[in-house]
Amino acid sequence: MQSNVRGVLMLFLPLLLGMRDPFIPVDDTCRNAQIGRWQYAGSVDSGPRQIAFLRDEKGKWRRIAREDVLMSGWRITDITSESLTMETDEACEPSQWRIIKGEIKHDKKDKPAGAVTAAAAGRQ
């Protein structure tokens, strides 16, 4: 009898103490989880402003400029040829993120440049 009470107590103790259910996903109000899926491709100068190319978590390419606000509420603060810096909401931690330019993966149907030249060389 005492072991049944102990088992029930251990089952409901986290709820009584106000702990969250570990099987429910954590609310990501700052959307920090999506930044790992973003990809920075670089930037170009367009007159007085610099335009950056950013691929979002859905795979859509976006053209953004300094002081633009992204859909997550983050504001672009700095654009260089190698990185993109943005600030999050004051309540979010960390308050600033930097995405470094990385290699862009192409679709599987794209052939590497060496394969095209090798095929052309074989025809000659």
Domains of the chain: 26-104 (2.30.30.830)
- What order of strands is seen across the sheet that includes strand 96-100? 75-79, 83-87, 96-100
Per-residue pLDDT tens digits for 1-26: 566 777 776 777 666 666 667 787 77
- Among residues 35, 44, 37, the alpha carbon closest in space to that of 105 is found at 37
What is the CA angle 90-95-96, rounded to 5?
Answer: 140
Burial class (CB in 10 A: 0-12, 13-18, 19+), 3: exposed
pTM, 2 dp: 0.58
- Among residues 46, 70, 49, the alpha carbon closest in space to that of 60 is found at 70
69: pLDDT strictly greater than 80? yes
User: Which stretch, 4-8, 68-72, 113-117, has highest mean pLDDT?
Assistant: 68-72
DSSP 68: -
Q: 86: Cβ–Cβ under 8 A, 6 or more apart, which residues?
A: 70, 74, 75, 76, 77, 96, 97, 98, 99
CA atoms within 13 A on the CB side of 44: 4
In our burial notation (b when 16+ CB lie closer than 10 A, e otherwise), range 91-119 reads ebeeeebebebeeeeeeeeeeeeeeeeee
Per-residue pLDDT tens digits for 80-100: 989 989 898 777 778 888 889
